[in-house]
């Protein structure tokens, strides 16, 4: 398991082939030069969503940084140099760089690292009124995860997302979606927001995009991307031939007809069975949440103890906020594997009940 990274499991033959073939020909060129695999990946990604342009980098936090820079630069390029502040939401997570910890504002992640006001504010996730109130003449844009990950798997309410879009449009500010964890098929659409019916102006993509190989992208509409000119941004390793070849293979696999239908089906099956488990064991499970194959289980008992019990029995999961655990299986997971996971979850719950 990786945290929503191994989108096609370990050593998928198509990814092994793409990586080894590329490794035998060319590893690195500076992104000062355009390479066919990069052009191809940009074409595919922009063809699959709202975006017109892609900037490639190496990690989720880097893609977010690129998005934040573009949000500010967009207004700067229009002569509005005041619009630099960015509004984020409670319980969010955007990475571990200085700007991304400042954006999420989680005290545990910020403590000892920030020097004064970093230009980010947080309002409650799901509250359109609070967002509208927080916006002023210094606001450049709004950033959110369409399905929160670290905070405890929490899909945004589509109606609220629509309100956020309308508020951004009304104020002429930008909307950045962090789909680092929830994107690239994880929630049953190529990008999660496509399931929720609202489009952003910019989007950060990483994790599952490389199926385990480090690669990320910041995607944007032309109107936004065009504020970046030669020299505005850069990356030594971003868009390298190895990463581009693997990501092309990942995207080909996930975008093939029927693949996402299967993710949605498997997700419904897995969540349905977990909800049944919660219904029959109300004293053990508080809630099941999620979209597609991004699933949250909220036990009554300590999530840490639950995780340890799962691990001992051979199931790797990861903790999330609000005493939850996250289940993020590969997108090509089989029904038998889901059943095996369900049996382990049931047995771990029974063990916790006995211990209580
Ligand atoms: C929603 C979200 N954004 C950003 C990041 C940061 O990505 P990375 O660790 O690749 O920098 C993560 C990582 O967990 C994430 O879940």
Say which CATH number the domain at 205 has. 3.40.640.10
Structure confidence at residue 85 as a pLDDT band (50, 70, 90): very high
Domains identified in the chain, total number? 2
Q: Is residue 131 in some structural domain?
A: yes
pLDDT(2) > 90: no
> Could you tell me if 291 and 186 lie in one domain?
no
How much is the pLDDT for 1?
A: 66
Q: Is residue 303 in some structural domain?
A: yes
User: Ligand 1 mean position to 58 CA, how many Å?
Assistant: 11
When pLDDT is averaged across residues 18-24 and rounded to a whole number, the result is: 98
- Ligand 1: which residue has its CA nearest to atom 8? 60
Write down which residue in 216, 237, 254 finishes a domain: 254
User: Ligand 1 mean position to 147 CA, how many Å?
Assistant: 13
How much is the pLDDT for 350?
A: 87
When pLDDT is averaged across residues 177-184 and rounded to a whole number, the result is: 98
How much is the pLDDT for 12?
A: 97
Structure confidence at residue 252 as a pLDDT band (50, 70, 90): very high
> Could you tell me if 98 and 218 lie in one domain?
yes
When pLDDT is averaged across residues 166-189 and rounded to a whole number, the result is: 98
Q: Structural domain of residue 110, as residue ranges?
A: 13-254
pLDDT(30) > 70: yes
pLDDT more than 70, % of the chain: 99
Q: Is residue 7 in some structural domain?
A: no
Q: Which atom of ligand 1 is nearest to the CA of 64?
A: 4
Q: Is residue 301 in some structural domain?
A: yes
Q: Which residues line ligand 1 (CB under 6 A)?
A: 3, 59-61, 64, 93-95, 145, 149-150, 178, 180-181, 206
* 223, two tokens: 């109107």
> Could you tell me if 311 and 193 lie in one domain?
no
User: Ligand 1 mean position to 204 CA, how many Å?
Assistant: 9
**Ligand 1 pocket test: which of 4, 57, 61 has the largest number of ligand atoms within 8 Å of its C-beta?**
61
> Could you tell me if 190 and 331 lie in one domain?
no
**pLDDT tens for each residue of 93-112:** 999 999 999 999 999 999 99
When pLDDT is averaged across residues 236-248 and rounded to a whole number, the result is: 97
- Ligand 1: which residue has its CA nearest to atom 13? 95
How much is the pLDDT for 355?
A: 76
User: Ligand 1 mean position to 350 CA, how many Å?
Assistant: 33
Q: Which atom of ligand 1 is nearest to the CA of 61?
A: 11
Q: Comparing 356 with 227, which gets the higher pLDDT? A: 227
> Could you tell me if 270 and 239 lie in one domain?
no
Stated pTM of the model = 0.98
> Could you tell me if 19 and 84 lie in one domain?
yes
When pLDDT is averaged across residues 150-171 and rounded to a whole number, the result is: 97
* 232, two tokens: 């505005």
Looking at every residue in the chain, the average pLDDT score rounds to 96
Kindly report the CATH number assigned to the domain that includes residue 272.
Answer: 3.90.1150.10
Q: Is residue 329 in some structural domain?
A: yes
How much is the pLDDT for 352?
A: 83
Q: Is residue 35 in some structural domain?
A: yes
How much is the pLDDT for 353?
A: 79
User: Ligand 1 mean position to 271 CA, how many Å?
Assistant: 24
Structure confidence at residue 54 as a pLDDT band (50, 70, 90): very high
> Could you tell me if 193 and 278 lie in one domain?
no
Structure confidence at residue 275 as a pLDDT band (50, 70, 90): very high
How much is the pLDDT for 333?
A: 98
Q: Which atom of ligand 1 is nearest to the CA of 59?
A: 10
> Could you tell me if 263 and 229 lie in one domain?
no
> Could you tell me if 213 and 288 lie in one domain?
no
> Could you tell me if 191 and 273 lie in one domain?
no
User: Ligand 1 mean position to 94 CA, how many Å?
Assistant: 5
**pLDDT tens for each residue of 130-148:** 999 999 999 999 999 999 9
CA distance 96 to 286: 30
């Amino acid at each position: 398991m990786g945290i929503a990274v191994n989108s096609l499991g370990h050593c998928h033959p198509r990814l092994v082939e793409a990586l080894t073939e590329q490794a035998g020909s060319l590893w690195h060129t500076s992104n000062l030069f355009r390479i066919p695999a990069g052009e191809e990946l940009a074409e595919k990604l922009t063809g699959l969503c709202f975006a017109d342009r892609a900037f490639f980098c190496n990690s989720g936090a880097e893609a977010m940084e690129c998005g934040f820079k573009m949000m500010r630069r967009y207004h700067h390029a229009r002569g509005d140099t005041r619009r630099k502040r960015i509004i984020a939401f409670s319980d969010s997570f955007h990475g571990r760089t200085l700007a991304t910890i400042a954006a999420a504002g989680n005290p545990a992640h910020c403590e000892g690292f920030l020097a004064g006001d970093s230009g980010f504010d947080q309002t409650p996730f799901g509250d359109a009124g609070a967002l509208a109130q927080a916006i002023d003449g210094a606001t450049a844009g709004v950033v959110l995860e369409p399905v929160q990950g670290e905070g405890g798997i929490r899909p945004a309410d589509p109606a609220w997302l629509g309100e956020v879009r309308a508020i951004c449009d009304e104020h002429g500010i930008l909307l950045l979606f962090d789909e680092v964890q929830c994107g690239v098929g994880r929630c049953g659409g190529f990008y999660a927001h496509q399931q929720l019916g609202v489009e952003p102006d910019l989007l950060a993509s990483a994790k599952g995009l490389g199926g385990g190989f480090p690669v990320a992208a910041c995607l944007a509409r032309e109107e936004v991307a065009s504020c970046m000119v030669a020299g505005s941004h850069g990356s030594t390793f971003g868009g390298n031939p190895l990463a581009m070849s693997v990501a092309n293979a990942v995207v080909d696999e996930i975008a093939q007809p029927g693949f996402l239908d299967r993710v949605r089906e498997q997700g419904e099956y897995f969540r349905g069975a977990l909800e049944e488990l919660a219904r029959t064991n109300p004293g053990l499970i508080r809630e099941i949440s999620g979209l597609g194959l991004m699933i949250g289980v909220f036990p009554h008992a300590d999530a840490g103890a639950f995780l340890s019990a799962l691990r001992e029995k051979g199931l790797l999961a990861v903790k999330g906020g609000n005493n939850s655990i996250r289940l993020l299986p590969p997108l090509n997971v089989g029904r038998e594997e889901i059943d095996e996971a369900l049996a382990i979850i049931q047995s771990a719950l029974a063990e916790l009940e006995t211990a209580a």
